Chains A and B, each alone.
Chain A
Amino acid sequence: MSEKFTRIGILISYALFTLLPIYWVGTLSFQKEITFPPQLIPNDPSINHYVRLFTTRGIPSSILNSLMVALTSALISVVICSMAGYAFSQLKMKGKKIVFGLVLITQLLPPALNIIPTYSVFSELGLLNNRLGLILLYQLANMPLNIFLFTNYFDTVEDPIVEAAIVDGAGPVKRFFSIFLPLSKPAVIAGYLFAFRFSWMEYLYASTFIRERSKTLFPAMLRLAVRSNRYTYDYGIMAAGAIILLIPAIGILVFGQKYLQAGLQLGGVD
């Protein structure tokens, strides 16, 4: 019995470690003024910092930019990766395994590694300061996981259904649209959530490739707002901004957890 308590004790400690920063950011964000020493629970809760955040120049438009980029790049990712997954899972082609292996390798080369040559290439092509350029970049980061996800999901579609469609004379393109996509709602949702999550939270490329204020994404703009004064940080903006950045993640956790977990298993994370 004591073993069981030890096990739960360890889980509780780890959960507290996970929640500590989130609790602290949350509690700071609702204090009217961040005092010294800080209060553990705000005595006089206020949304002052949130109001200040949303009235900071550039913040509202950066949230719209981020949403636009994340929603679009997630949609494109689902289209591109479901097509590729269909080819890998259902179509016959020479050298398919080699191509599939190359996609897997990409997963192991994080986008952060390519940032300098990509910057130079984008600079030549006029893709800097361009949200479409970022959407293109995010496809690369989202591809491996989502291609695995769709390939593995399409593998589970039962043969008799496919054979019946073939007998009915449906070609490969028609089968993709009339059988595979409609049967793959969980994969589509999981793939969309994965890609949305990545694009919403990405900071490095967004802050390096976009320098024009009107096009800046939320995480990068938030960093600018926090450091608007060179020598001090605006802790209130920092805390409120972190909470706003976290909200979609919590939403995904609450509404999409079952898709995420199934998706991760299909996405080759096992």
Chain B
Amino acid sequence: MRRYSALIPILFLLPAIGILFFLQVFVWSWNINMVLHDVTFMNINRAWEFVGLQNFIDLFTDPTTYASLKNTAIFTVGSVSLQMFLGTTISYLLYRADSTIEKFFRPIIIIPWLSSVVVAAFSWELVVAKEIGIINRAIAALGFERIEFLGGTNTAMGVVIVASIWWGTPFVVLLLSSAMTSISPQLVEVAKVDGASEWIFFTRVALPILVPFLLVALILTTVWAFNQYALILLLTDGGPLNATRVFPLHGYQRAFNSGQFSYGATVSMVSMVMNMILVYLYIRVSGVEFAGN
């Protein structure tokens, strides 16, 4: 059947594969190079001194590293669990709603997914601001003391998590909505005839069908939350008192604020390994095929 040169598919793939090779394979090899040398703001474009594994020693003897890993754990667990819970609930309710109701709510719920990280950060900053925020306006109206949400260590982490849920949950809803369609309408009818309550139907019938999709969503959301530091950078810049400085932000700030590029590159390397573990889980769960023709 093949009546064309083997070069043709390669030519069609070349631009995409070229970019992939340059910006992933080459850039990551370059990162290894940075990790093994001492690269700072001063010498970034000059010769680098070889330092072996010194950067790893620096990273793992630095107490701020452990503090940032702890913040990453809090942020990731908080953000992912709530995104999964809300995403599952909302996509299920949209699936079970009448089509007019569904058509009304779905676009509203998608809006945050379409908005920039800057919109997410700015709008939550305005919502929780001490003087002009709507939440503090309500708190003051109820007769309580205004709270400086982004100024307290616990409340700042709370705001960052809520903003990430606001921004990220629509994606979980989109992801799970197509999974919901694999629950056949006949099952719904049968359950209705049998008089099963909505809750029984959801837990006994819908949830087991959804488990594989939920696992995929869980891993994607975890990767997303783990690497989500632009939002935190904009909202708190890691503060107050480093309470929201997550691990990747730690690397970013060391590189771009303090000019310690090889330290930052080491953080990238460690993050990459953590991501690869998640990727491996993803492949196992989603059953992506790498072998065969």
Give A contacts to B, CB under 8 Å. 3, 7-8, 10-11, 14-15, 17-22, 24-25, 28, 34, 36-38, 40, 79-81, 83-84, 86-88, 91-93, 96-99, 101-106, 108-110, 112-121, 123-124, 136-137, 139-140, 143, 147, 171-173, 176, 197, 200-204, 208, 219, 222-223, 226, 233, 235, 238-239, 241-242, 245-246, 249-250, 252-253, 257, 264-265, 269-270
Contact = CB atoms under 8 A, between A and B. Distances in A.
B48 to A, nearest CB: 10
B8 interface: yes
B90 A245 contact: no
A253 B111 contact: yes
A87 B227 contact: no
Prevailing SS type, chain B contact patch: helix
Interface in B244-292: 248, 251-252, 255-256, 261, 264-265, 267-268, 271-272, 275, 278-279, 282-283, 288-292
Interface residues of B, number: 102
Contacts of A239: 122, 126
Contacts of A269: 174-175, 178
A219 B9 contact: no
Contacts of B156: none
A173 B111 CA distance: 39
B16 A101 contact: no
Given A116-B251, A203-B118, A143 B111 contact: no
Prevailing SS type, chain A contact patch: helix
Interface of B: 1-4, 6, 8-10, 12-13, 15-17, 19-20, 23-24, 26-28, 30-31, 34, 39, 44-45, 86, 89-90, 93-94, 96-97, 101, 105, 107-112, 114-120, 122-127, 129, 131-134, 137, 140, 166, 170, 174-175, 178-179, 197-198, 213, 220, 223-224, 227-230, 233-234, 248, 251-252, 255-256, 261, 264-265, 267-268, 271-272, 275, 278-279, 282-283, 288-293
Contacts of B24: 106, 109, 114, 140
Given A108-B279, A253-B114, 19 more contacts: A8-B97, A10-B89, A14-B86, A14-B90, A14-B109, A38-B133, A92-B9, A103-B20, A117-B268, A118-B23, A118-B27, A119-B255, A140-B24, A147-B16, A204-B233, A235-B126, A242-B126, A250-B111, A253-B107
A242 B122 contact: yes
Contacts of A119: 255-256, 261
Nearest to B94: A11
A80 B15 contact: yes
Contact of A114 (B27, B224, B279): B27
Contact of A98 (B8, B44, B290): B290
Contacts of B233: 204
Nearest to B274: A113
Contacts of A242: 118-119, 122-123, 126
28 contacts: A8-B97, A19-B108, A25-B122, A28-B126, A38-B133, A84-B16, A97-B290, A104-B288, A109-B24, A113-B271, A115-B268, A116-B34, A116-B252, A117-B268, A136-B23, A140-B19, A140-B24, A143-B16, A171-B4, A173-B8, A202-B116, A233-B125, A238-B122, A253-B111, A269-B174, A270-B175, A270-B179, A270-B213
A137 B279 contact: no
A213 B253 CA distance: 22
A172 B4 contact: yes
Nearest to B1: A92
Closest 5 CB pairs of A and B: A201-B116, A270-B178, A21-B123, A249-B114, A117-B31
Nearest to B118: A219
Contacts of A17: 166
Contacts of A223: 118, 234
A219 B126 CA distance: 17
Max chain A C-beta neighbours (<10 A), residue from B12, B108, B230, B290? B12
Contact of A18 (B17, B166, B268): B166
Contact of A116 (B15, B117, B230, B264): B264
